[in-house]
Amino acid sequence: MDNAHLQIGLIPLARTTFDIDLANDVLARARTELSAAGFTLHGPTSLVTRVDEVDQTIEHLSAAELDLSLILQTTFADSSMVTQLASALQTPLLLWAIPEAHTGGRLRLNSLCGVNLAAHALTRTGFQYNTIYADPGDSEVLTSVRTQALAGRARRLLRHAKIGRIGEHPDGLDTCEYDAQRLKKTFGLDIIPMKLSTVFQGVTKTDKKAMDDLYQKLNHEVADLDTLDPQATRNTLASYLTLQRLTQARDLKGLAVRCWPEFFTDLGCAACGAMSMLSNELIPCSCEADVNGTVTQLILQSMSEEPSFGTDIVSLDDERDALVIWHCGLAPGAMADPQEPIRGTIHSNRNLPLLFDFTLKPGPVTLARLAESSNGYRLVIGRGEIIRGPKSFSGTSGLLRFERPAREILDVILTEGLEHHISITYGDYTDVLISFARQLNIPILRLTN
């Protein structure tokens, strides 16, 4: 992600009894480094030393959609300004202390002690925060700011997000239960329940030309499409167009869809292909009306700005020390291995189209799951790598290898009683997920180091 997408509130605090010339130099270097890295900076360009200046800063920053408040303690200052900022801005906080030379003479900044004081005050008042102790030119600063801001961006995007839940989850799939009030309290997002009949009615009213145009476009991109039942295939495409219209009309950021059995029995097609195409357009979709799965996909997607995929773990490949991840034909096309064509296919149990058939492309991935129990949430976090190997099953599948034995990962998942869906996106965002969980005070279960 381009750092320009990340909105940083930079607030430089100081006390005038310390070396203000050096403090101004620290601020200038900090702004130069952050600007050169591409971050979008908000906030005062001069040192904040008085309570009235804090008030002005809060008024200015409250109008911005901040991903992170970066409080730069250029010198020592008591904790009152930091707690005032934390209370008013309600954003993720990163407290930045500056090292200074051990000259044997005057302590010119005493920045570290100021951050220590602020950290204690925030802890006493229940605010979450992170700290960094580094010179503006240290690469650690940019890494930490980016990590915390990406986590904050995910929080910000979730805060006003709406997810459509279409139908109830199937009987016996307790892993797809959710608590709308808990989601609202924790993340700020809303769940919009809709009936399956709303989608099915939309399918019957879909413009035939729009359906045919989409079919022709897809026929150039997907092999074997013309070998499938044409009416069932068009019903899947009409489902995609209907779901797309619903997301636009209701400003939905993702969908949790009861994909079976009614799509097969009542509509005569599979929902998988429709959800695959929507996920590929960054409208994450989970099957079996798994709301928490869609939330997890949305979190991952907000960090990677690439599609995410909610999948089952269906087998263990001992020979390659990998877990087999699979879903009927739901993975977004952007995840397909470019060495093989994407094929249209039928559901392996219901024998109806449209699904996509491909193996996942090799590369590092991040795993996550917003796991829920009666005690609340845990965020399950891990990283691995999709490797090439023989195709495991029809539909969309891949071989997922970890930095520890795959059997150990499987044992943790089963012993902890985790949900049967886990989500992936390409790239390593484990540090960002850890920061995200800590910002929201959500316990973490790490599958890998």
Same domain, 134 and 186: no
Given a cut of 90, whether residue 2 has pLDDT beyond it is no
**pLDDT mean over 35-39:** 97
The pLDDT value recorded for residue 1 is 74
The pLDDT value recorded for residue 374 is 83
Q: Are 383 and 423 in contact (CB under 8 A)?
A: no
Residue with tokens 């300004």: 81
In the chain, % of residues over pLDDT 70: 100
Range of the domain at 90: 3-159
What is d(CA 294, CA 296) in angstroms, rounded to the nearest whole number? Answer: 5
Same domain, 224 and 362: yes
Same domain, 202 and 263: yes
Q: How many domains does the chain have?
A: 2
* CATH code at position 62: 3.40.50.10940
* CATH code at position 185: 3.20.14
Domain stops at, among 159, 185, 220: 159
Q: What is the DSSP string of 274-324?
A: HHHHHHHTT--EEETT-HHHHHHHHHHHHHHSS--EEEEEEEEETTTTEEE
The pLDDT value recorded for residue 363 is 98
Give 213's pLDDT tier (boundaries 50, 70, 90): very high
Enter the tokens of residue 389.
């190997």
Residue with tokens 């070396």: 19
Enter the tokens of residue 246.
């619903």
What is d(CA 42, CA 34) in angstroms, rounded to the nearest whole number? Answer: 11
Q: Which of 248, 266, 297 is nearest to 195 (CA)?
A: 266
What is d(CA 232, CA 214) in angstroms, rounded to the nearest whole number? Answer: 14
User: What does the pLDDT look like over 285-318, one tens digit per residue?
Assistant: 999 999 999 999 999 999 999 999 999 999 999 9
pTM score, two decimals? Answer: 0.96
Same domain, 243 and 117: no
Domain stops at, among 107, 125, 159: 159
Q: Are 323 and 385 in contact (CB under 8 A)?
A: no
Domain stops at, among 132, 159, 186: 159
The pLDDT value recorded for residue 139 is 96
What's the angle, vertex CA 193, arms to CA 191 and CA 198, rounded to 5?
140
Same domain, 337 and 360: yes
Q: Which of 340, 339, 344 is nearest to 355 (CA)?
A: 344
Same domain, 155 and 16: yes
Same domain, 236 and 254: yes
Given a cut of 80, whether residue 433 has pLDDT beyond it is yes
**pLDDT mean over 259-264:** 96
Give 375's pLDDT tier (boundaries 50, 70, 90): confident
The pLDDT value recorded for residue 174 is 94
The pLDDT value recorded for residue 144 is 98
Same domain, 154 and 169: no
**pLDDT mean over 80-90:** 96
Same domain, 303 and 411: yes
**pLDDT mean over 337-366:** 97
Same domain, 141 and 249: no
Given a cut of 90, whether residue 320 has pLDDT beyond it is yes
Same domain, 95 and 108: yes
Same domain, 183 and 80: no
Given a cut of 90, whether residue 72 has pLDDT beyond it is yes
Q: Which residues pair with 364 in a beta bridge?
A: 385
